């Protein structure tokens, strides 16, 4: 009995890992889209993208790695903007590379997810960029039109539900999974997680000021 229970918990953690991986792709996609759409070089003369062909560029090695990853002749706009601070751009790039590299989810699926995220958030940069990446990785027009259709459909359903203030009624479809996020502590079945309560600071005495 214990062996079956342990196996079930391991399987639950494995399944949850897929969601964590997908969530990382969503977060990183939004991070790049924010930079590309808002700070595209026209907002301020102090935030113009770095010219990757200029002499003495500090992020030259970073740019080379980015071009290799995307098999591209030029570096995508967000990295050229962030490269004004090479250390910052390098940290972001590491997160992007980790998020989009093949793991439990393959890169084509991740690009499709990033395309859907960009469509939903109305990011012109992200929509065009991830559509191009899907095409480069072999996704056909039928494939990206399928992603477009699903994204449009669920965006419509979400708007209808939000307008009517509907409550979700699908909570019982999947069993409760007590497996933790990476690095978190497991909560035993039926046990309530302990919530740390904030200790109240001692009340300050009010001092009356005489007239």
71 in a structural domain:
yes
The per-residue pLDDT for 10 is 40
The per-residue pLDDT for 185 is 62
How far apart are the C-alpha atoms of 162 and 164, rounded to whole Å? 5
Which residues of the chain register pLDDT less than 50? 1-13, 193, 195-199, 201, 207, 209, 211
How far apart are the C-alpha atoms of 1 and 7, rounded to whole Å? 10
The per-residue pLDDT for 55 is 66
Question: What is the span of the domain harbouring residue 52?
Answer: 16-164
Give the total number of structural domains in the chain.
1
201 in a structural domain:
no
Cα separation values, 207 from 97, 200, 204, 210, 211, Å: 58, 21, 9, 9, 13
The per-residue pLDDT for 161 is 79
How far apart are the C-alpha atoms of 14 and 105, rounded to whole Å? 12
Is 0.85 topped by the overall pTM? Answer: no
Asked whether 59 and 83 are in contact (CB, 8 A), the reply is: yes
Q: What is the DSSP letter of 46?
A: G
How far apart are the C-alpha atoms of 153 and 25, rounded to whole Å? 21
49 in a structural domain:
yes
Name the H helices within 39-140.
60-70, 77-82, 86-100, 107-120, 124-136
How far apart are the C-alpha atoms of 164 and 63, rounded to whole Å? 48
8 in a structural domain:
no
CA neighbours within 13 Å on the CB side: how many for 196? 2
196 in a structural domain:
no
| Nearest Cα to Cα of residue 11 among 179, 191, 193 | 179
The per-residue pLDDT for 88 is 92
Report the CATH number that the domain containing residue 61 is assigned in CATH: 1.20.1290.10
Place of tokens 């570096």: 75
127 in a structural domain:
yes
| φ and ψ at residue 132, rounded to 5 degrees | -65, -40
9 in a structural domain:
no
65 in a structural domain:
yes
Q: What is the DSSP letter of 45?
A: G
| Chain centroid offset of residue 60 CA | 26
User: What confidence tens digit (pLDDT) does each residue in 13-67 have?
Assistant: 456 788 889 999 999 999 999 988 887 656 567 778 888 877 667 888 999 999 9
């Amino acid at each position: 009995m214990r062996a079956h229970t342990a196996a079930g918990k391991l399987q639950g953690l494995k399944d949850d890992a897929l969601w964590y991986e997908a969530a990382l792709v969503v977060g990183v996609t939004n991070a790049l889209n924010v930079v590309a759409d808002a700070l595209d070089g026209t907002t301020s003369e102090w935030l113009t993208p770095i010219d990757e062909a200029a002499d003495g560029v500090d992020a030259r090695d970073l740019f080379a790695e980015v071009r290799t990853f995307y098999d591209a002749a030029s570096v995508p706009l967000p990295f050229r903007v962030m490269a004004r601070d090479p250390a910052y751009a390098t940290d972001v790039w590491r997160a992007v590379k980790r998020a989009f590299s093949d793991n439990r989810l393959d890169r084509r699926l991740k690009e499709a997810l990033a395309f859907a995220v960009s469509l939903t958030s109305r990011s012109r940069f992200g929509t065009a960029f991830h559509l191009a990446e899907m095409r480069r990785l072999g996704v056909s027009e039928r494939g990206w039109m399928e992603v477009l259709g699903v994204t449009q459909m669920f965006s419509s359903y979400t708007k209808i539900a939000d307008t009517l203030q509907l409550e979700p009624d699908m909570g019982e479809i999947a069993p409760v999974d007590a497996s933790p996020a990476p690095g978190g502590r497991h909560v035993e079945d039926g046990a309530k997680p302990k919530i740390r309560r904030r200790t109240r600071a001692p009340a300050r005495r009010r001092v009356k000021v005489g007239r």
